[in-house]
Chains A and B, each alone.
Chain A
Amino acid sequence: MEAHAAAGHHGPPAAHQSSRVNASVLGMFLFIASEIMLFGSFFTAYFFVRVVNGTAWVNHYILANGKLFQLPIYVAFINTAILVTSSFTMHWALTSIKKGNRAGLQAGLLLTFLMGLVFLLTQVREYSRLGFKPSDGAPATVFYSLTGLHGAHVFVGLTILAFMTIRAFRGHFSPEHHHGVEIGGIYWHFVDVMWIVVYTTVYII
């Protein structure tokens, strides 16, 4: 009987990777997992401030610099509807290219980008009308931090979407090769889910 520590093989060994998830998709999920931890720390700060300063953040009002300010709950609701819809158009874009429908891909990505842009611009506009600044106390700081962190992610998502859209209009992606859309789509859905959590906890509850 012979002993063999390794098979006779020349050159570097074949890469070992999970047969269940593609490496780049797995990378995006690991990135999202780290992002969830980042958002988790901000949510911890938010809940801490609300519990400690119970009277400073009640019924959609926030105490900043000694005054009560109403949060723009209805504008934020419209913004939420826009962002949620953009997830549907994102999904439409991907299913279109899987079926070989290039026009559907282009329209889906363009609509997703435009809706994301409207969301971000509306948020910036609302910041200017809120009446309080991030430095006006802990609740104000937490409010701007949490919504601002999400806004930063929307900005990153828009950048990714812009590249995806340009590539789609330049004829990239096919029913067999659409990994760029798949990975960008996963990120966009993550941004959407985080906003639903932010909107429910910060604006509604």
Chain B
Amino acid sequence: MSTLPPFSLTDQQLVAQVLSGNTAVFGQLVQRTEGLVTQLVFKMIRHPADRPDIAQEVYLKVFKSLAGFKFQAKLSTWVGQIAYNTCLHYLEKKQLVLLDPAEPTPADATEASRRGPPPLVAGPGSDPEAALFDHDLAGILGTAIEQLPPLYRTLISLYHQQELSYEEIAQITSLPDGTVKSYLFRARKLLKQQLLARYQRDDL
């Protein structure tokens, strides 16, 4: 990891310094926002080989557009917006659709076969919730999220992992607040259904 000065600059100071020609400070901007950008790229782009190029492309676009940024939103939200649009452009170029059920990549298939079938089924009379959550939920949940369509897994990660608000997600994705909320509800329901299906249960 590069050794950069601590995050002592405000967003405004940081942008001003980069625009005045101190490009080294741009590293701070990358470090402040790379969690969000990485999350977006990983959730929207299925092919691991394409992700590094896309992440770098995002930051080169941010650098070139920085003069046009007028703090109409948080800096991180603006960077997230560029990351989302860059990924969207990639998906359009590859003729992939954000909301179609995702096709597992060869890497996913290998991973799935390596893991094998789910190791448990809630037996009759047992508590289905306990059966679900007594096991390695994090691992299973991670796999289930990967099976969601790109937009759904992006929304899940932005809301639950990045802890962004509906409004911030709406700004990043340019979707109306209500649509974000509605998609998020559907994504969570789908996620629960996928998890339940793994345990061969109809309902909890």
A and B are interacting partners: no
